Amino acid sequence: MSLLIDRSSTQFEYGIDSPEQMQRWLEKNPNAIGACFVGRSNVGKSSLINSLFGNSTARTSKTPGRTRQINIFSFKLASNNQEETEELPKFYCLDLPGYGHAAVSHKMSQNWEELLGTLFNKYPLGLTLINIQDARHPNQKSDVAFHQYLQSNLCETFLVFNKLDKLKTQKLRSALNKQKPSLFKQYKWVKQIHFVSAEKNTGVTSLHDSLISRMMLMLNFQE
């Protein structure tokens, strides 16, 4: 594949913290193409975003006050054939607030639901939803709850199991291998399943290439 995410083009565009702002962005960008990242807090979402989009991308989302926002970044694709990228639009990366905080207040989780409810209500189909889970502990209660919440929404999803490098022993790796058939069955509606380590950059290139293929497909589909 000759197209790459141009990591130097990534820009923070908006921090969205109200359903009204979300609604306005969706009305302006119904055909947005890109990716939308979501997962349990601490699963390595920021690390994965950084490894795909450039090292300081998700630092913005870690600044206090922004962790409960939807942070929107724009990015471009690069190619060694300039003609290939000249006509391409701006793409988007949405960084969703983490779910499964043990300590969030009722009001905070209500805000999360309202914000995400607004997004999923008019979800741009060009945004591949990337759900990150921990390869050591797949399918936690909050992951299951999130997928139940998603069932009624038609978004193409990639499931990404992160922190693969933490499975250091053969015993841990075979425990995951044993779980794979039931995970694949449970998540059979998911488009792709990836196993990565954001920290060691394992499997990230394959995820990157799959994402770009899907973005190009959506672009051709919209034209």
Nearest-approach distance from CB 41 to ligand GDP, in angstroms: 5
Nearest-approach distance from CB 121 to ligand GDP, in angstroms: 24
Using the minimum distance from each CB to ligand GDP, give the nearer residue, 118 or 162: 162
Nearest-approach distance from CB 11 to ligand GDP, in angstroms: 19
Using the minimum distance from each CB to ligand GDP, give the nearer residue, 16 or 196: 196
Residue 45 as a binder of ligand GDP (CB under 6 A): the answer is: yes
Nearest-approach distance from CB 101 to ligand GDP, in angstroms: 10
Q: Which amino acid is at 25?
A: W
Taking CB under 6 A as the rule, which mask of x and - marks residues 163-182 in contact with ligand GDP? x-xx----------------
Q: Of 42, 121, 177, 206, which lies in the binding site for ligand GDP, with binding defined by CB under 6 A?
A: 42
Bridge partners of 5, per DSSP, are 77
Segment interacting with ligand GDP (CB under 6 A) among 106-114, 157-165, 171-179, 185-193 = 157-165
CA–CA gap between residue 108 and residue 122 (Å, rounded): 22
CA–CA gap between residue 49 and residue 198 (Å, rounded): 9
Q: For the chain, how many residues are written?
A: 223
Segment interacting with ligand GDP (CB under 6 A) among 75-83, 152-160, 162-170, 174-182 = 162-170
Query: For 194, phi and psi rounded to 5 degrees?
Result: -120, 150
Q: Is 25 exposed, middle or buried (0-12, 13-18, 19+ CB in 10 A)?
A: buried
Q: State the CB neighbour count (10 A cutoff) for residue 70.
A: 24
Closest CA to 129 of 197, 199, 62, 218: 218
Site residues (CB under 6 A) for ligand GDP, limited to 54-113: 98
Token pair 């991308």 in the structure block, residue: 57
Residue 160 as a binder of ligand GDP (CB under 6 A): the answer is: no
Residue 35 per-residue DSSP state:
E
Segment interacting with ligand GDP (CB under 6 A) among 80-88, 109-117, 136-144, 191-199 = 191-199
Size of the site for ligand GDP (CB under 6 A): 16
Residue 41 as a binder of ligand GDP (CB under 6 A): the answer is: yes
Using the minimum distance from each CB to ligand GDP, give the nearer residue, 76 or 101: 101
Query: For 13, phi and psi rounded to 5 degrees?
Result: -105, -55
CA distances from 50 to 88, 110, 139, 154, 193 (A): 22, 28, 24, 27, 20
Given the rule CB under 6 A, which residues bind ligand GDP?
Answer: 39, 41-47, 98, 162-163, 165-166, 197-199
